[in-house]
Amino acid sequence: MVAAQTHVGRQRKINEDAVAVASIERDGVGRRFAVVCDGIAGGAHGELASSVAAQAALTALVEDDHADAEFALRRAVAIAHRAICEAGIEDVRGKDEPGTTLVAAIARATFVDVAWVGDSRAYLLPPSAPAELLTHDHSWVNLVVDAGDLDEEEARASKWAQVITRCLGPAEDPDPLKPPEPSMRSIQVAPASRLILCSDGFWAEFAGPEELAAAVAAAPVPGDAGALAAWLVERALEAGGADDISVAVVLL
């Protein structure tokens, strides 16, 4: 089961996030797909960049009949980048070119494959093991922390803390045939695990994977992906929820 919810948040006028999910059966094996995109706030029409990317990526994943999930995800990222570049999104005075983050997943049986560009994230919540962040943000914070220049607390206090270092669309490269390189993760997971894909407006309201796992554990209907996604959005809003909030839930 897979479902998603998105909310404009408490301080935004336009929701620049977009979500897209689907389930299919191919060759007797069920596949679930989820995509979460977050339009760049400083770019023109982030809401269009994210929605174009999310729909293009999902369509590519559903239509791809390759057995190689990594190939399918890389292709979906390239198609999403091209779709934004060719969408004819108009310029906005004082704003950069359009762009969006993306995190996408394919789940089949007990295998999960994830691709991401930017700082939208994927978390895995196994039934009897600690929750795990599967992705590593393409962000200025991680760039300087990984290099040993600052610790995380210092980096997140900087005025550059919200800057991402990779995205889809003209903000990354206006050439539709030059998509950014996505990061990839492929893992085998325990049955009854939960996969959570989300934008930064969601994950910023939780101290870490453990706090997210506690919110999931407290859900009144944890076995319903739609109800769980809605529950998690409400928890993020209660925690502050200033930014756009998006969550996709895949029950494995």
Across the chain, which has 252 residues, the per-10-residue mean pLDDT values are 93 93 86 95 88 97 86 96 92 87 94 96 92 93 87 83 91 95 95 94 91 91 90 93 93 92
Domain boundaries defined on the chain: 2-136+167-251
pLDDT at 41: 84
pLDDT at 52: 97
Phi, psi angles (nearest 5°) of residue 152 = -65, -40
Strands of 72-226, DSSP E = 100-108, 111-117, 121-125, 132-133, 183-188, 194-198
Q: How far apart, in whole angstroms, are the C-alpha atoms of residue 173 and residue 59?
A: 22
- And the tokens for 32? 């679930």
Q: How far apart, in whole angstroms, are the C-alpha atoms of residue 45 and residue 21?
A: 22
Helices 69-85 + 46-63 axis angle, to 10:
140
pLDDT at 57: 97
- And the tokens for 92? 């906005």
SS3 171: coil
Tell me the H-state helices in the chain.
46-63, 69-85, 140-146, 152-156, 200-203, 209-217, 225-238
**Is 2-136+167-251 a domain of CATH 3.60.40.10?**
yes
| Distances, alpha carbon 220 to alpha carbons 201, 227, 252, in Å | 23, 8, 18
